[in-house]
Amino acid sequence: MSKRRIDPVTEQAIDWMVKLRAGTPDARLQERFNAWLLMDRAHRQAWDTLQERLGDTFKPFRTLDQRLPGQAGEARQVLLKPQASRRDALRVIAGLGLLGGGLLLGSKTQLGESLLADLHTARGHRQNFNLADGSRLSLNAESAVDLRFNDRQRLVILRRGELVIDVAPDANRPLIVRTAEGEMRALGTRFLVAQEADASRLVVLQHSVEARLFDGTTRVVKEGQAALLSTRNITLASDDERGRAEWLNGRLNVLDESLEQVIDALRPYHRGFLRVAPEVRGLRVQGVFPLDAPDRTLDALAETLPIRINRYSPWLTMISKR
């Protein structure tokens, strides 16, 4: 079954709606918004559709109030208040289904998992969080987690992306990171977890971690070791993968990986669409590259690999064989 999600242009339109409603009008912001509208016909269409669905005067809320008594008024207040965030707006839009079935933001979509998560980061941004128990959580770009802390447990659910966590000691409440494939229980203090397409990656930076699949398979991964968790197996990596945590310092440390894997690591930092031709995806890469300057990294790759970087616009980059 295909996952429904808000398309990127509608997502941008929602961003602009939140910015333009956030308090005192700003001439420069209005100029930037006008330029965005003129940049592409799809931008105008997405904006008009959003305004039609929401209603510039919020007339649709009268209908919604008949269908969902009490909720429409609350939604209107959230969308109009100056401090309303993008997450607040999307939560309202998703909850009331204002964008219609084709654009419904479901809790299982990647966008929904990011924007409606307890903590999330945007494209090109990393962030550190101090958790209530004293642990320190770092999220890579385009990552999202939910937190389930109570008197009995400390559970971090990685919805997408990558994290590094420094675990505060608590003998009565073990800290567990849960992914799509299983759970990682801290036996020490510091480790990295990444949610990949069909597996979860664990890299133990200090002490050890118990990895457990949902079928009960367990394995203790020690400091300096890395493991890949699939639905049926926990496989130890042969190489030292602690360099993967270099994104904390804005660097992509590549020991010996395919070009496709390197580009996947750059995607959360690149503002446009990156396409890698099939014939070059398997090229091996080694080196240290800047994450915050993805175009510079692409140019550096083109100097050492037999590839060509074709930029057709700020939003489309094609990587092909030279």
Secondary structure (3-state) at 270 = coil
**Using 50, 70 and 90 to split pLDDT, how confident is the model at 302?**
very high
Q: What is the pLDDT of residue 272?
A: 83
Q: What does the pLDDT average to over 267-274?
A: 89
Q: Which of 82, 9, 85 is nearest to 48 (CA)?
A: 9
Write down the mean pLDDT value for the chain: 80
> Is 120-242 assigned to CATH 2.60.120.1440?
yes
Is residue 291 over pLDDT 90?
A: yes
CATH class label, 250-321: alpha beta
What mean pLDDT is predicted for residues 265-275? 90
The yes-or-no verdict on residue 105 having pLDDT over 70 is no
Q: 129-164: per-residue pLDDT in tens?
A: 999 999 999 999 999 999 999 888 999 999 999 999
pTM above 0.85, yes or no: no
What is the distance between the alpha carbons of residues 7 and 10, in angstroms, rounded to a whole number? Answer: 6
Q: Average of pLDDT values for 109-116?
A: 54
Of 207 and 108, the one with more pLDDT: 207
Statement: residue 42 has pLDDT above 70: yes
What pLDDT is recorded for position 174?
A: 92
CB 86 within 8 A of CB 105: no
Q: What is the pLDDT of residues 164-188, one digit of tens each?
A: 999 999 989 999 999 999 999 999 7
Measured CA to CA, the distance from residue 125 to residue 270 in angstroms comes to 11
- Listed range (56-65, 133-142, 210-219, 225-234) with the worst mean pLDDT: 56-65
Q: Identify the pLDDT of residue 8.
A: 73
pLDDT on residue 99: 45
Q: Which long-range contacts (CB under 8 A, 24 or more apart) does 295-304 make?
A: 295/270, 297/252, 297/266, 298/266, 301/259, 301/262
- C-alpha 296/C-alpha 266 separation (Å) is 11
Average pLDDT for 83-111: 47
Q: Report, as an integer, the average pLDDT of 114-133.
A: 86
Q: What is the pLDDT of residue 102?
A: 39
Other Cβ atoms closer than 10 A to 131? 18
**Spans of all domains in the chain:** 8-115, 120-242, 250-321
Query: What pLDDT, on the 0 to 100 scale, is given for residue 293?
Result: 95
pLDDT above 80 for 64? no
Phi, psi values for residue 232, rounded to 5°: -125, -15
Q: Of 105 and 25, which is predicted with more confidence? A: 25
> Using an 8 Å Cβ cutoff, are 195 and 160 in contact?
yes
Tokens of 120: 């999330």
Place of tokens 């998703």: 94
Provide the 8-state DSSP code for 304: H
Q: Locate the DSSP E strands across the chain.
A: 119-120, 127-130, 136-139, 144-149, 154-166, 175-178, 182-186, 190-195, 200-206, 208-213, 218-222, 226-229, 234-236, 251-258, 273-276, 284-290, 307-313, 316-321
Mean pLDDT within 243-252: 96
Same fold, 120-242 and 250-321: no
**Nearby residues of 307 by Cβ (< 8 Å), 6 or more positions away:** 259, 280, 283, 301, 319, 320, 321, 322
Query: Bridge-partner residues for 147, per DSSP?
Result: 156
By CB atoms closer than 10 A (0-12, 13-18, 19+), residue 36 is middle
Give the model's pLDDT for residue 48. 78
